[in-house]
Amino acid sequence: MGSAHSVPAEMRELADRTGFTSEQIEHLHRRFKQLSRDQLTIRNLRPESDGLADEINFEDFLTIMSYFRPIEMNMDEEQLDRFRKEKLKFLFHMYDSDHDGKITLQEYRNVVEELLSGNPHLEKESARSIADGAMMEAASICVGQMGPDQVYEGITFEDFLKMWQGIDIETKMHVRFLNMETIAHCY
């Protein structure tokens, strides 16, 4: 794509796939160009990129953004369910850094440590304990009463879904893509 505008056919295909309107895609494209400084892809600037992609192109960018679309009023049950699953899948992948389909305790710990790293007064110990406690909780929800010989390996995607069953994430996990003025950031 580069600096040229997307071909309408391509755009339509993207629009169908991600659900954005062509206007929103234009906006996001402009934003993408800003972030990538007119390159084709955005590079990963972090030093260690275990489990993370090195670069993403516009399509990936758009796909990820599409996970955060708000729910529309005219969606039916099945669409809603699919939507929700997509969002949860995204989250799941974020936690599961080695992409083996399970969130193990260590991965969970990493996540919690990252989350709580903003609080300077918290020690790693506590973060670990919290992760352990959370894992416990997850285990108790997902598997309920386990037999004496069972061992809980990690949270699979089904378990993850189960955990979030009663909880309404549709309202928590979306961003309004309304006024998309590209704001200049200093990079």
Cα-based distances in Å from 80 to 74, 76, 94, 117, 163: 10, 6, 21, 34, 18
Least separation in angstroms between residue 100's CB and another protein is 13
Cα-based distances in Å from 140 to 13, 95, 111, 137: 43, 19, 20, 5
| Pairwise CA distance, residues 104 & 159, whole Å | 12
User: Would you say 15 or 28 has its CB closer to another protein?
Assistant: 28
Least separation in angstroms between residue 119's CB and another protein is 5
Least separation in angstroms between residue 172's CB and another protein is 5
User: Would you say 15 or 105 has its CB closer to another protein?
Assistant: 105
Least separation in angstroms between residue 13's CB and another protein is 21
- In this structure, the strands spanning 102-103 and 55-56 are unpaired
DSSP secondary structure code for residue 101 in this structure = S
User: Would you say 1 or 70 has its CB closer to another protein?
Assistant: 70
- Within 13 Å, how many C-alpha atoms sit on residue 182's CB side? 14
Cα-based distances in Å from 33 to 37, 65, 136, 180, 184: 6, 15, 44, 14, 12
User: Would you say 11 or 90 has its CB closer to another protein?
Assistant: 90
User: Would you say 47 or 148 has its CB closer to another protein?
Assistant: 148
Binding site for another protein (CB under 8 A): 28, 31, 34-35, 65, 68, 70, 73, 91, 94, 104-106, 111-112, 115-116, 119, 121-123, 125-126, 128-130, 132-141, 143, 145-146, 148-153, 163-164, 166-167, 169, 171-183, 185
Least separation in angstroms between residue 165's CB and another protein is 12
Q: Is the dihedral of CA 3, 66, 41, 34 positive or negative?
A: positive
